[in-house]
Structure 1
Amino acid sequence: MERVIGVIGGSGVYQMEGLEEARWQAVETPWGAPSDEILTGRVAGMRMAFLPRHGRGHVHSPSSVPYRANIDAMKRLGVSDLVAVSACGSFREDMAPGDFVIVDQFIDRTYQREKSFFGAGCVAHVAFANPTCPTLSAACLTAALDAGITVHDGGTYVAMEGPQFSTRAESEMHRAWGADLIGMTAMPEAKLAREAELCYASVAMVTDYDAWHDGHEAVDVASVIATLTGNVGKAQALIAALAPLLGPEHGACQGGCDHALDHALMTAPAKRDTDLVAKLDAVAGRVL
């Protein structure tokens, strides 16, 4: 099948430079409107779709982002590989502001968000032990290195509800858990991407040391924005380097992302809610 790269840009990443045949287009979904119109075009001859997670002008808080609509819209546009870029705090001295991290694990501490496309009338349980795609993540790592970015291979990301930043006690607790990063938007985005059978990679842009580091002032918006300004160009360079690495054809995913629903559906066909099934046409049409 044709490979189509999707990019969800986090705080500060509201545009995608270098797209050929670029145009913003609205995408309707049964889960409501996405965060914004989606910028579609081509990079190195490959189709790409870019969505600003918070909307242009940053109109959505982490809790109000329409995560289900965003993932559904990407699926409807034919996206096969989804790269999520987000700003994060660091719990590790060596993951310094300005560095990038290719996330491979998550701890979900969000509690106000709809976390699944499925539910009463059509129950499904997808495997999520390895929540990111190994092939796409490896390509993101190589692309970052090729772009001259200081990047770390692997990291555990705590997803907090926000919108406030951490207390010092929370920051120290998460460090004691062995977490590496903290942010507000990876969940439920990664879970929904798995339900939609998308290859998903998470690229974290470190902006601060959260609240634990005695040598740095506690995180605030001004310091985050200052670091983000330098990171935006790096993120766009990474995406530009990614397309040639992946190639135009999307073969079978080695991690099984593209067949995540093979054994996930629990509800007997005769018992399924027809209205919910209709809403799942893009996300789960392959198995429904």
Structure 2
Amino acid sequence: MAQASIGIIGGSGVYDIAGLENKRWQRVESAFGEPSDELLLGELNGIKLAFLPRHGRGHRIPPSEINFRANIDALKRAGVSDVISVSAVGSLREGLPPGTFVIVDQFIDRTFAREKSFFGTGLVAHVSMAHPVCHRLGDHLEAAARSAGIPVVRGGTYLVMEGPQFSSLAESELYRGWGCDVIGMTNMPEAKLAREAELCYATVGMVTDYDCWHPNHDDVTVEQIIGVLLSNADKARTLVQQAVPRLGHDATAGACGCRSVLQHALITAPEARDPALVARLQAVAGRVLK
């Protein structure tokens, strides 16, 4: 299959990428089951790109049923090295109104019903999540957003809840008390798996509304939220168009530390490793399993 260097994972409202040339949908087999959808492959400004709708086209898959492992594995198999994740989020701060894009730098993972690692019995690995996103990608995304006139905030903590229900008022206030800035349902374990796969990964949280803590929350209508969602999707496409050339011509990308995190992460002795799991991990971790 054709190889891509940049991957885009689209969240709610973002189901395609405008401006792609030579585009085609292509199925990618994963050792971890079915990805959310085929990959939309194409070129943007001459740079090869792979787009994956996280919920599938038509928004078929709820957050807890997304096969995050297959999604990341499929992108790695397609040759992707940089991943931009865009996600609809609720705001936990007055200063982050609907329409704001937040370039997230931290997560709190409150999910509990998802497979969170490629590794397991027969091949154990531990990677650092102290700084869970790629600072280099964040720099490019911030510059692209400001260039496009998109309201953007650099830095913020994303509380990832299990869903599919939204949080209670007590939970919303708890998360605010923890210092969280936005809340959503989809970036964990996505970020953890991207780190295990040695992919540079960054998240853009697209604020659609204030979470239920806000005193005016009950006045917000579904129509208003959908309007913001669609507007955010348009801005996300613009952001991608601005960011991809910057990423594609970044001469420092190859030296990024994200691409070597498995170097000292494997704990299981070579002679004790499960051959079946080793074979399954060839796309994700083949660099250190040779």
TM-score (norm 2): 0.96
For residue 10 of structure 1, what is the aligned residue in structure 2? 11
Aligned residues: 287
Gaps of 5+ in 1: none
1:110-149 equivalence runs, <5 A: 110-149=111-150
* Distance in 2 separating the partners of 1:124 and 1:55: 30
Structure-1 residue corresponding to 2:84: 83
Match in the other structure for 1:41: 42
Looking at structure 2, the residues matched to 170 and 254 of structure 1 have their Cα atoms a distance apart, in angstroms, of 41
Q: 1:273 to 1:39 in 2, by over 3 A?
A: same
Question: How far apart in 1 are the matches of 2:162 and 2:194?
Answer: 19
Q: What corresponds to 1:233 in structure 2?
A: 234
CA-to-aligned-CA distance 1:92-149 (integer Å, 9 cap, x gap):
1111101100000000000000000000000000011000000001101111111110
Query: Residues 26 and 3 from structure 1, CA distance in 2 versus in 1: closer, same or farther, beyond 3 angstroms?
Result: closer
Structure 1 residue aligned with 2:274: 273
Cα displacement (A) at 1:223: 4.2
| Paired position in structure 2 for 1:224 | 225
Per-residue CA deviation, residues 52-104 of structure 1 (Å, 9 max, x unaligned), is: 00000111000001100000000001101000000000111111101100000
Look up the match of 1:210: 211
Indicate how the Cα distance of structure 1 residues 285 and 235 shifts in structure 2: closer, same or farther if over 3 A, else same.
Answer: same
Q: Distance in 2 between matches of 1:152 and 1:127?
A: 25
Task: Report if the CA contact (8 A) 2:4-2:50 is conserved.
Answer: no
Deviations 1:10-67 (A, max 9, x none): 0110111100110000000110111001100011110000000000011100000110
Give, in angstroms, the shift of residue 218 of structure 1.
7.2
Work out the CA distance in 2 between the residues paired with 1:255 and 1:39.
Answer: 26
For 1:48, the aligned partner's letter is L
| CA displacement, residues 234-287 of structure 1 (integer Å, 9 cap, x when unaligned) | 000000001221234664566510001011000000000111110100000000
Deviates more, 1:98-107 or 1:251-260: 251-260
- Pairing 1:261–2:269 present: no
TM-superposed CA distance for 1:225, in Å, is: 2.1
Deviates more, 1:208-217 or 1:23-32: 208-217
The answer as to whether partners of 1:210 and 1:219 remain within 8 angstroms in 2 is no
What are the within-5 Å matches in structure 2 for residues 135-214 of structure 1? 135-214=136-215
AA of the residue aligned to 2:214? H
- Give the TM-score, by structure 1 length: 0.96
Q: In structure 1, how many angstroms separate the alpha carbons of the residues matched to 2:4 and 2:66? A: 26
Q: Distance in 1 between matches of 2:62 and 2:13?
A: 13
SS for the counterpart of 1:263 is coil
**Any idea what SS the aligned residue of 1:287 has?**
helix
Contact 1:135 1:253 in 2 (8 A): no
- Report the more deviating stretch, 171-180 or 245-254: 245-254
For residue 117 of structure 1, give the secondary structure of its aligned residue in structure 2. coil
Consecutive unaligned residues of structure 2, counting only runs of 5 or more, are none
Aligned counterparts of 1:23 and 1:207: Cα–Cα separation in 2:
30
- State the alpha-carbon separation in 2 of the partners of residues 143 and 150 from structure 1: 11
Cα pair 1:199 1:253 within 8 Å, conserved: no
Could you tell me whether the CA contact under 8 Å between 2:40 and 2:51 is conserved in 1?
A: yes
- CA distance in 2 between counterparts of 1:254 and 1:156 reads 26
Q: Judging changes above 3 Å, is the alpha-carbon distance between structure 1 residues 165 and 247 closer, same or farther for their aligned structure 2 residues? A: same
State the percentage of identical aligned residues.
Answer: 60
Residue 243, structure 1, aligned to residue 244, structure 2: yes
Letter in 2 for 1:203: V
Task: From the superposition, tell whether residues 38 and 266 of structure 1 become closer, same or farther in structure 2 (CA, over 3 Å).
Answer: same
Question: CA shift at 1:221, angstroms?
Answer: 5.3
